[in-house]
Amino acid sequence: MPGIADPTRPSVSLDGPMISLRDVRVSYSGREILHGITFDVQRGETLVILGGSGSGKSTLLRTLVGLEKPTSGEVWIAGNNFSAISEAERDDIRKKIGMSFQGGALFGSMTVGENVALPLREHTKLEDSTIDIMVRLKLDQVGLSGYEQYVPSQLSGGMKKRAAVARALAMDPEMLFFDEPSAGLDPIIAAGIDQLILDLKQAFRMTIIVVTHELASAFLIADRMVLINKGDVMAMGTIKEMQNSTHPRVRQFMDRVPEPAVAQELDYLQMLTEQQPRQGSPSPGKSR
C-alpha cells in the first residue's frame, strides 16, 4: 500500500500501542475527508487531536470508534484490525471503549441513572442491586452524586457532559474518547471537565483520546498532540515540541493567527474607510 509511514504490522504485545492508524482514508459520498492518517497511541497515554473546524478531526474520532468505515487503510485497536474482524468481535472491542459525545448524547427518555446503567444491563448479567451500586459509584466519580433520578433535560450543559462521562465509564473501559469536551461550556465548567479528565487519567491510567480546538485545555491534559489540517496529520508531538514548532501552519494554530483570507477582508475594510485602493486588487470605491 502506498504512503505508509511505518509498514510494520503494529505489535500485539501488551506494551505495544493501544491504537494504531495505518494510512487511514475516509470519504463521504465521494469526497475524501481524511487523506491517509498514520499514527500510534500508546497505552495509558492522553492524546489530544487538535484541528480547526472542518479539518476532519471529528471524522477521525468517529473512525477510531468504528462509526465510520475507512475507505482504505487500517485501524488497529488493542491488537485487532477493526475493519477486518466480525461484527461480534467489533462489539467485544467496543465494550472496552467509552465515548463521550459532544452534546452528551444521553437518552432523553431515561433518567441519568438508567443511562449509566444501560451498558451494564445490556452486556452483563449483574443483579439490579449491584448495577445500582455501580451507577452510584460512576456518578460519584464525575461529581454527580444523587442525580440518578434526574432526566437529562433537567441537567445543565456541564452536568450532561459529566453524566455522559459516567456512562462512558460504566463498563470500566480501557480507552476513553472525548468529542469536544468543553464545547459550549463556560470557562469555569470547561475547566472542571478538564480536571475530570486529568483525574481519570491519574486514577485509572486509561488511554484517553480527546478531540478539541481549545488550546488551553489541550495543553493542560495532553501527553502528546496531533494537529489535523484538511484531512492530514500536519504535526505530532509533545506539548513542548508543538510549542517550539517552526512549521508555519502549526505556528498559526498555536498563536491563534487568523486565516489570510480573513486578513484580506480586514484590508478591504481598511481600504473602504481610507479610500485608498491598493494596486492590483479591485476596489468597491472605484465607481465613485
Partner 1 sequence: MEFARKVGASVINGLSYLGSLATLAGRAAFAAFIGPFLGRPVRFQSAVAQAMEVGVRALPILSLITFFIGLILALQSAYELKRFGALNYVASAVAISMSRELGPLITAIVVIGRSGSAFAAEIGTMKVSEEIDALETMAIDPVHFLVTPKFIAMVLMLPCLTIWANSMGILGGSLFGVLQADFTWIRYIHASLEALFLRDVVTGLIKSVMFGVVITAVGCLEGLSTSGGAEQVGRSTTRAVVVSIFLVILVDLVFTTMFFFLGAH
Q: Is residue 230 involved in binding partner 1 (CB under 8 A)?
A: no
- Alpha helices per DSSP H over the chain: 57-64, 87-94, 112-123, 128-141, 157-169, 187-204, 215-221, 239-243, 248-254, 260-274
Q: At its nearest, how many Å lie between partner 1 and the CB of residue 167?
A: 8
Q: Measured on CA atoms in the order 173, 175, 180, 182, is the torsion positive or negative?
A: positive
Q: At its nearest, how many Å lie between partner 1 and the CB of residue 113?
A: 16
Q: Is residue 27 involved in binding partner 1 (CB under 8 A)?
A: no
Q: At its nearest, how many Å lie between partner 1 and the CB of residue 196?
A: 19
d(CA 279, CA 261): 17
Residue 24's CB: how many other CB atoms inside 10 A?
23
Q: Which of 70, 119, 192, 231 binds partner 1 (CB under 8 A)?
A: 119
Q: Is residue 83 involved in binding partner 1 (CB under 8 A)?
A: no
d(CA 72, CA 128): 43
- 118 versus 126: smaller Cβ distance to partner 1: 118
Phi-psi category of residue 47: left, alpha or beta, with phi > 0 → left and psi -120 to 50 → alpha: beta
Q: At its nearest, how many Å lie between partner 1 and the CB of residue 101?
A: 5
Q: Which of 105, 183, 234, 236 binds partner 1 (CB under 8 A)?
A: 105
Q: Is residue 231 involved in binding partner 1 (CB under 8 A)?
A: no
Q: Is residue 118 involved in binding partner 1 (CB under 8 A)?
A: yes
Dihedral of CA atoms 78, 80, 81, 85 in degrees, nearest 10, equals -140
Q: At its nearest, how many Å lie between partner 1 and the CB of residue 55?
A: 19
Q: At its nearest, how many Å lie between partner 1 and the CB of residue 193?
A: 17
Q: Is residue 123 involved in binding partner 1 (CB under 8 A)?
A: yes
What's the distance, Cα to Cα, between the start and end of the chain in Å? 60
Q: Is residue 106 involved in binding partner 1 (CB under 8 A)?
A: yes
Q: Which of 66, 70, 73, 113 binds partner 1 (CB under 8 A)?
A: 66
228 and 73 Cβ atoms separated by less than 8 Å: no
- 70 versus 119: smaller Cβ distance to partner 1: 119
The distance of Cα 79 from the centroid of its chain, to the nearest Å, equals: 21
Q: Is residue 122 involved in binding partner 1 (CB under 8 A)?
A: yes
**Strand 232-238 and strand 46-51: pairing?**
unpaired
- 99 versus 200: smaller Cβ distance to partner 1: 99
Q: Is residue 107 involved in binding partner 1 (CB under 8 A)?
A: yes
Q: Is residue 124 involved in binding partner 1 (CB under 8 A)?
A: no
* Site residues (CB under 8 A) for partner 1, limited to 164-203: 167, 171
Q: Is residue 47 involved in binding partner 1 (CB under 8 A)?
A: no
d(CA 268, CA 227): 31
In sequence order, the 6+-apart residues with CB closer than 8 A to the CB of 171 are: 95, 96, 98, 119, 120, 123
Segment near partner 1 (CB under 8 A); pick from 39-47, 92-100, 141-149, 206-214: 92-100
Residues within the interface to partner 1 (CB under 8 A): 62, 65-67, 90-92, 94-95, 97, 99, 101-103, 105-108, 118-119, 122-123, 167, 171
